Structure 1
Amino acid sequence: MELLERDHERAALETAIETGGVVVVLGEAGIGKTALVASAAHGRHALWGACDPLITPRPLGPLRDVAGQVGGAFARAVADGAREDVLAAARAALANAALLVIEDLHWADDATLDVVALLGRGLARGAGASGASGATGAARPAGAGSRPRAPGCLVITARPDARREVRRVLSSLPGERIEPGALSPAAVARLAGRDAPDLHAVTGGNPFFVTEALAAGGDGVPASVRDAVELRVGALSERARAVVELAAVVPGATELWLFAEPAAAIDECIAAGLLHLQGEALAFRHDLARRAVEDSIPPLRRRELDRQVLGALEFAGHDDPARLAHHARRCGDTEAILRLAPRAARAAGAAHQQALEQWEAALEAGAGEEALEGVAVEAYLSGWPERGIEARRTLAERHADDPCRLGDDLRRLSRLLWWSGRGPEALAAGDEAIAILEPLGATRELAMALSTQSQLAMLGDDLRAAIELGQRAATMARWLGDDETVVHALTNVGTALIGGPEHERGRALLAEAIELTRDDDNACRALINRATATLSRRREDTRVDADLDAALTFAREHELYGYLQYALGVRANVHLYRGEWDAAEANARASLDLGEQRGVSLCPGLVCLGRLQARRGEPEAGATLDEAWRWATATGELQRIAPTVAGLAEHAWLDDRLEEQLPHLEATYALADERRQPWVRADMAMWLRRAGRDVPGHPEDPEPYALAAAGDWRAAAAAWQRMQYPYEAAGALAEAGDVEALEVYDRLGASRTAAHLRRRLRANGVRKIPRGPRPASRNAPGGLTPRESEVLAQLRTGATNAEIAQALVISTKTVDHHVSAVLSKLGVTSRRELKRPGRLSSAADRE
């Protein structure tokens, strides 16, 4: 197909390839991403790899493709699967090539995403450094007759509707973004050789849809691509149709030796434009066509084709377990699933989500204890504890006659239950584990069970018990030479010490644990605990930002999504405290977007979002805070309950019904006092005083609360301001009746809080009350809000939604809503129309 209306995109891509770095080509299926990249790569040394739409993706799938082209150290690194070796091999290979193309990243496995993210960031830094050195005009080394070679270019193609993990990686990569648009009516007419408004209307200008419809022939235009593909397949001979059907059940390219039909049948498919050669393999010109053919194959015939492919691949000695397991699962071959899914799970390495899916497939097929253990472990590591609880319970039942294994199962079950937000059940399982293991004497299992109970005590703010159990576990583990249990126990003791008189010793123990461990879960837990304990018990410690950044980076790079979800929610609350509310919302939504079945890890994001919604007067606030309350109370932990109670109290207070929350406030105050948690106790006391209760100050109250309890509101406001907590500072000013608080509320966008204060001021007889900001939308084109105006400005630069989200520090989903609102208010149907001269003025005139 002629490459029409792609001159600008091709020039940008060629420039990026020359410069080096990262280019992401984003577009819907069929828009021509691969054709554009192939055109720009023509004549250059390019390495190509593609992600396949397997049920469970091949770990490092596209890098395996590249390994087949490069061989040597690259092939060995991919076969071993060690991330650092694969990354080093990819960098070395790219040093000898102009570009590395990763096609269809939206189908990537987690391990591939990990390598792509690290490789892309490194290339972007290298390209930036190269550009910087070139800009200085520094002299070249003697004898250098040409410009130093660019560091290589990573070119990624992907769809914008990719899963969240893929979108997150793409948004984190600096570099060029290229989004090919739909073809214009003129371009469609050129391809059709006639005016074709009907064809453009039906296809929306999608190049693949257009070419499929044209190739189908006939007088009319097919109603869909499926119809176009079916018409083309229907014109094939019986043997050629057999070729197409076999190719349709193989995601990606199909090796030529898999086809039993004669070469003439294959040539017929190529001539029809359905398939094309890729080296020694056949592939559909576009996966949409493959899926259309696959969907048209009767189910029993489709299963037989998958069985045929599986048998041929195994007979030929094919050794990609993920690909083999895909066909085994598609054809329902129980024996093959039992044989291949465990292999694929073990080969998945750090791709925990993919490993979990393979173990679950094996378990469904009737696999035994290894699959149960695999499901239980990978469900925990991938952040889906509910999917592992039943497997761990089953293992405990099977080990009922083996006290050591039974006790260890119960200890592991305790951890899964805690992640699921089922605190009391977790404690009961842990107590039972210790009771079973203690009669056996000092064992690794007992040491870890003691440390697990230490952890639960620490999470429940029973710090004395946490320290005693943790020290006992560490002593036993050192005697046994069990370093990882020592690390686990040190993490519990260190976390318990943070915020108290031995705060620095606590941080030192956590640093020791991080240094000593070789286990990703232990390391991430220590990093998370250091950040969250410091934030909740010693808010004035300025190291909390660096702590959180370290925890987030580690969780993301090691695909520990339960920890990542939790850390994002915690960071959202940090932004909330500091008055960075757009960033708070973006982080809270990013946390919640990771899933709805992750228990404890949902709590921080829900609380942050609920409090934001309450302060802004958004109707969803009550439902969000109720959901947070449901998860918090299931844990029974003060650190989950207290922020939720504060959010519910604020929400009720803004409607002048704070008395409804008195039972929760009194119970939480009593628990905080019992557990000696000064920040929580002081916060609950503040809300109780607002409800009319006479609660005296406490000697251990943090400074801003102590000053407020003494009635020195302006000093309290200054103390909050020193901590960079503007909303809390405004709250202290409001209690003093100072109208300056309104300026802060209005600036933050706390419209409901501001309205509440204005009512109180009027009731107190204050006459000169600032009216608040005049709605900017009255003067904006089309009646746009201030945020919509910012989005419009970004749109006019050609920025993608991901780039707008990054620039304005909001979520991509929020950008989607704003873009839709902007287009609707301005009366346009596409982003391109926003660039037309006079477009905005005419829209405003209609208002």
Structure 2
Amino acid sequence: MSPDRPEEPAAAAGLSRPGLRGREAELERLRALVEAVRDGEGGATALLLGEPGIGKTVLLQETVSIARAHGFLVSHGRAEELHELAPLASLASGLLHGDPPLLSGTDFADLAGDHDQRIWLVERLAQLIEERSAGTPVLIAVDDVHWADPLSRFALSVMPARLLSSPVLWLLTGRNDPEPYAQGPRTTTLPLRPLSATALAELARDVLGGDVPARVEELLDGAGGNPFLAAEMLSGIAASGADGPEPPERLVLGVRGRLAGLRPDTLHFLRIGSVLGPAFSLADAAALCGRPASGLSSEVDETIAAALLHDDGERLRFRHDLLRQAVYADLAPSVRRALHREAATRLVAAGRSPADAVPHLLQSAEPGDQEAIGLLGTAAADVIAVMPGLAADLAVRALELVPPHAPMVFDVGERAVVALTRAGRYTRARETGDALLARRPPLDVFARLQSVLGDALWHLDDVHELTRRSTAALAAVTDPAIRARLTARQALARSRGRDLDAARETGERALAEAERSGDREARVLALWGLGEIALNAGDCAAAVEHHTALSVFDTAFLAEEAVARIHMDDFDTVRRLLRTAGDAPLRPAMLIWAQGTLNMGLGRLDDADADLVTAERLEADLRVPGNLVNIRVNRGLLALLRGDRAAARAHLDVVRTAVADRPNTGNHATHQYFEAVVADSDGDHATAAERLRSAQRDHPFLRWRLLRPHVVQAVRIALRGGDRSLAEDLAAQAAAHAARNPAVPTARGTAAHAAALVNGDRGLLERAVRVLLTGPRPLPLAAASADLGRALRTAGDPTAASALTRAHDIYVRAGADAEADRLRADQERAADRPGRRTGRLRPRPDQGWEALTASERKVARLIAAGHTNRSAAEALVVSPHTVNTHLASIFRKLAVRSRVHLARIVLAEDDAGTAADD
């Protein structure tokens, strides 16, 4: 029996059969994984790795049979070499065509093309799988995953971790390198080694019956322990004897022997099939043969009789890809190329999509092939929203096919620059654009190329070059839309400069030009630039105006509107915005960054940290960590509020590395401030003050939006470091910011607080507290109340205790344990009770129910009650991504592996009376 055609599952542990000789140990490990997932141990992943023919598929099929026997809902898909252009084809082949299908075709929504859709699509897919697995364990098996399309590979790299708490077993087979496949917690890798001589002898007895002649054993040595090659040899020996006319030492020679016996028309048909791929439709083969499908029945019958193909009901499939490769390898390279090119033409003529034709073009197109250039460009545009890396590869290949002096080189090159930028290959995009510019294009083309290069330059943080190029291109442009885009890019670049008034004028001119030209891209760029300029200038109301107009025009920028409103202390509107964005498919990492910023402002430190962890994970999934510095600085500041210096230093190490990769002025300022805070906490006040001065090296401290809530802390650091001039400068900046934003309580309150520290003015502290009591941010109120309480205590004022108690209670509710502990000592001194010290707050443990944050307990209860991540997120008004972050933390702290285990713990806590509502 062929090792790739099992008929029934092994009847019991230890029982082998022909297709599984020598694989008993691997099969038992797979059986154990199936049973563990069935029994509520959570999700898991198994990787079967090895060379072609080593037996991966037979083990996968046997595991599928075992899983079905254990009540699993099974998705069994296969990745195919020539299908890499079809998004999710490798996963969907099983998900949509099972019996019953795991998902329906309507479960996949249409995808927009303006933004990266991968995170949203994979999250939606994970939600559907999670819902289906709620009552039934699920096995998702994908064979030959090394051929998977990029979106399926992305999904397989993300979803197993996302569904770790659900009863989902992922079973993947692939070549020997495990790097491209799903790796993570609970991944079992099974490398399949060559079969032993004993296993080969058993296989020979299964096929031939009785004792195995010495001559056969010698021949089997030539199989190298590969069970498929061994089975092919044994089949030939069974048919013609060990000394028959078909020497089986090498598979390709054996296939040649079979091919020699085929009729010429059948041989041509089979070679056509090998070009079309491991599986192909009869209609496609007929079109390429130039014959009607009905006229190929004898050829089909002959290839099946020769054990080369089998019919799966929908397509003809080579019985093993090694057979297909052997047929394909027997074609001369020039013949292969010609057949691939003809296949592409025939498929297009038959009305097939570029996704079907382009893989053949990649094998065959030569420079100057106009049809190939067009199809590659169309295919790139079709997949850019969900497979930007593949789109970039296709667009670059199209450019390579354009003759150097052909007029179309600039249009094709422009699309390549755009695709490379969307894929995050900014340096390559710049190099490609510069190579096009070196060909001295016409002036309008020069301007258009500089416009599209502007996006790559922005992401490379080369704003000086962006300014220079946009200015030069504006002198050459005549197209109104391109002029508007260039002007908007110029404004965006100038938002990083010192003259923000000039930047604003440029932005307003860009917006006017965009509206006159009716160009969507120019309008988006102009509004974005104006919003950035306003925020950098500290004009929060104008920033809200521009970012609101931008998010109405393009909902992908809703997060920018939310952040702008946070600077206005308009937290209620931000909550509404983030609720409406719950199902938005666009830029989830930025939305969660906005949610984290809101929670920071609200003093919900645990929730903010979870949001920041989630935003970083989503950026890492897409490999575009643009916000990493800000995320880690905020997490480090949170750690210091809690008193966790080790965590703060770990975050600082990440920041140092990230700044080395992206050394822009904003990152520099944020990094230096964090260095100052860490040095100050270590008692090195001189170094801390120097770091603050470094943060102002390029721009004033208040220019950086992330640092504005921390100006009071910066003033303290300057004063402790003996730099009164710096402290006065910081207080003056805070006052100017408050004057620009009279409707923002936090701006006015922190300005009063900063001035109070510099001047030692208790009246200003009282004003700061009064103003901050009208705002939504508890932590600035706590800081001002603490300083007021200390000042009142020094003056012998009995109301000191009230101010200190308010500050202490705010810090306790926020989880700022380090600040709360300092306030406890101040409270005791204010109450004149030095002998009744109650000690520090008990730190939260690392493990167990008490280690969970309030939000984690809420998530735990919802999941234990049967909620999915999605429904739990809706109940808590957060993102499912954040719920997943909470779940990962819950599982780690409680040392559980599945929702079943979690439910037991929650029930026990409820019974013990310790899980009351927080």
TM-score range, shorter chain: 0.5 to 0.7
2:85 alignment partner, SS class: coil
Which of 312, 333, 340 is residue 278 of structure 1 equivalent to? 312
Deviation per CA, 1:446-496: give whole Å up to 9, x if none: 222212212223355754223311222233344445455345434433554
Partner amino acid for 1:390?
Answer: E
Quote the offset at 1:623 in angstroms.
1.6
Q: Could you tell me how far apart the structure 2 residues matched to 1:325 and 1:816 are?
A: 44
Select the structure with the greater relative contact order (CA < 8 A; seq sep ≥ 6).
2
Pair 481,725 (structure 1): closer, same or farther in 2 beyond 3 Å: closer
Which of 317, 321, 335 is residue 347 of structure 2 equivalent to? 317
1:543 alignment partner, SS class: helix
Superposition map of 1:400-419 within 5 A = 400=441, 402-419=442-459
1:708 corresponds to 2:708? no
Partner amino acid for 2:347?
Answer: G
Which of 70, 85, 101 is residue 57 of structure 1 equivalent to? 85
Pair 705,506 (structure 1): closer, same or farther in 2 beyond 3 Å: closer
Quote the offset at 1:180 in angstroms.
4.4
| Residue aligning to 1:266 | 304
Deviation per CA, 1:555-586: give whole Å up to 9, x if none: x44xxxxx555554444444444311442343
Pair 373,411 (structure 1): closer, same or farther in 2 beyond 3 Å: closer
Pair 396,564 (structure 1): closer, same or farther in 2 beyond 3 Å: farther
Q: Could you tell me how far apart the structure 2 residues matched to 1:797 and 1:276 are?
A: 49
1:326 alignment partner, SS class: helix
1:474 touches 1:485 (CA, 8 Å); kept in 2?
yes
1:450 touches 1:472 (CA, 8 Å); kept in 2?
yes
1:427 corresponds to 2:467? yes
Greater gyration radius: 2
| Residue aligning to 2:842 | 773
Q: Could you tell me how far apart the structure 1 residues matched to 2:517 and 2:103 are?
A: 52
1:457 corresponds to 2:487? no
Q: Could you tell me how far apart the structure 1 residues matched to 2:318 and 2:863 are?
A: 35
| Residue aligning to 1:623 | 653
2:559 touches 2:591 (CA, 8 Å); kept in 1?
yes
Q: Could you tell me how far apart the structure 2 residues matched to 1:755 and 1:159 are?
A: 54
Q: Could you tell me how far apart the structure 2 residues matched to 1:707 and 1:509 are?
A: 29
Deviation per CA, 1:695-738: give whole Å up to 9, x if none: 24443441442353325679868977876656656655666676
Deviation per CA, 1:255-292: give whole Å up to 9, x if none: 3575997645535658xxxx86432314589xxx85x8
Pair 419,763 (structure 1): closer, same or farther in 2 beyond 3 Å: farther
Which of 209, 217, 241 is residue 203 of structure 2 equivalent to? 217
Quote the offset at 1:687 in angstroms.
1.4
Partner amino acid for 2:464?
Answer: P
2:275 touches 2:336 (CA, 8 Å); kept in 1?
yes
Pair 528,747 (structure 1): closer, same or farther in 2 beyond 3 Å: closer
Partner amino acid for 1:407?
Answer: A
Q: Could you tell me how far apart the structure 1 residues matched to 2:91 and 2:531 are?
A: 41
1:359 touches 1:375 (CA, 8 Å); kept in 2?
yes
Pair 350,622 (structure 1): closer, same or farther in 2 beyond 3 Å: closer
| Residue aligning to 1:392 | 433
1:374 corresponds to 2:415? yes
Pair 39,163 (structure 1): closer, same or farther in 2 beyond 3 Å: same
Which of 630, 645, 652 is residue 679 of structure 2 equivalent to? 652
Q: Could you tell me how far apart the structure 2 residues matched to 1:389 and 1:40 are?
A: 55
**Structure 2 unaligned regions, length at least 5:** 1-6, 12-29, 38-42, 49-58, 146-151, 172-187, 207-219, 237-253, 260-266, 290-298, 404-408, 739-746, 791-803, 874-878, 909-918
| Residue aligning to 1:447 | 484
Quote the offset at 1:587 in angstroms.
1.9
1:358 corresponds to 2:389? no
Partner amino acid for 2:463?
Answer: G
| Residue aligning to 1:19 | none
2:779 touches 2:811 (CA, 8 Å); kept in 1?
yes
1:345 corresponds to 2:344? no
Quote the offset at 1:411 in angstroms.
3.1
Q: Could you tell me how far apart the structure 1 residues matched to 2:704 and 2:118 are?
A: 44
Q: Could you tell me how far apart the structure 2 residues matched to 1:800 and 1:123 are?
A: 10
2:130 touches 2:166 (CA, 8 Å); kept in 1?
no
Q: Could you tell me how far apart the structure 1 residues matched to 2:890 and 2:82 are?
A: 32
Pair 718,50 (structure 1): closer, same or farther in 2 beyond 3 Å: farther
Superposition map of 1:123-134 within 5 A = none
Pair 245,316 (structure 1): closer, same or farther in 2 beyond 3 Å: closer
Q: Which moved more, 1:255-264 or 1:613-622?
A: 255-264
1:573 touches 1:608 (CA, 8 Å); kept in 2?
no
Partner amino acid for 1:472?
Answer: R
Superposition map of 1:830-845 within 5 A = none
Quote the offset at 1:420 in angstroms.
2.0
| Residue aligning to 2:717 | 690
2:495 alignment partner, SS class: helix
2:572 alignment partner, SS class: coil
2:273 touches 2:280 (CA, 8 Å); kept in 1?
yes
Partner amino acid for 1:179?
Answer: V
Pair 620,759 (structure 1): closer, same or farther in 2 beyond 3 Å: farther
Quote the offset at 1:414 in angstroms.
2.7
Q: Could you tell me how far apart the structure 2 residues matched to 1:461 and 1:226 are?
A: 70
Pair 744,822 (structure 1): closer, same or farther in 2 beyond 3 Å: farther
Pair 603,747 (structure 1): closer, same or farther in 2 beyond 3 Å: same
Which of 254, 261, 267 is residue 280 of structure 2 equivalent to? 254
| Residue aligning to 1:231 | 230
Pair 121,28 (structure 1): closer, same or farther in 2 beyond 3 Å: same
1:495 touches 1:529 (CA, 8 Å); kept in 2?
no
Q: Could you tell me how far apart the structure 2 residues matched to 1:814 and 1:752 are?
A: 26
Deviation per CA, 1:503-560: give whole Å up to 9, x if none: 6665455444455x5xxxxx2564343233333x324443234445667865x44xxx
TM-score relative to the length of structure 1: 0.63
Quote the offset at 1:418 in angstroms.
1.0
2:434 alignment partner, SS class: helix
Quote the offset at 1:377 in angstroms.
0.9
1:477 touches 1:486 (CA, 8 Å); kept in 2?
yes
Partner amino acid for 2:104?
Answer: L
Partner amino acid for 1:621?
Answer: H
Superposition map of 1:126-205 within 5 A = 157=140, 163-164=153-154, 178-180=167-169
Pair 475,369 (structure 1): closer, same or farther in 2 beyond 3 Å: closer
1:745 touches 1:751 (CA, 8 Å); kept in 2?
yes
Partner amino acid for 1:57?
Answer: L
Quote the offset at 1:233 in angstroms.
4.6
| Residue aligning to 1:590 | 617
| Residue aligning to 1:605 | 631
Q: Could you tell me how far apart the structure 1 residues matched to 2:677 and 2:707 are?
A: 15
Aligned length: 711
1:410 touches 1:433 (CA, 8 Å); kept in 2?
yes
| Residue aligning to 2:914 | none
2:104 alignment partner, SS class: strand
1:494 touches 1:509 (CA, 8 Å); kept in 2?
yes
Deviation per CA, 1:121-173: give whole Å up to 9, x if none: 79999999xx9xxxxxxxxxxxxxxxxxxxxx9x9946799755566679999
1:317 alignment partner, SS class: helix
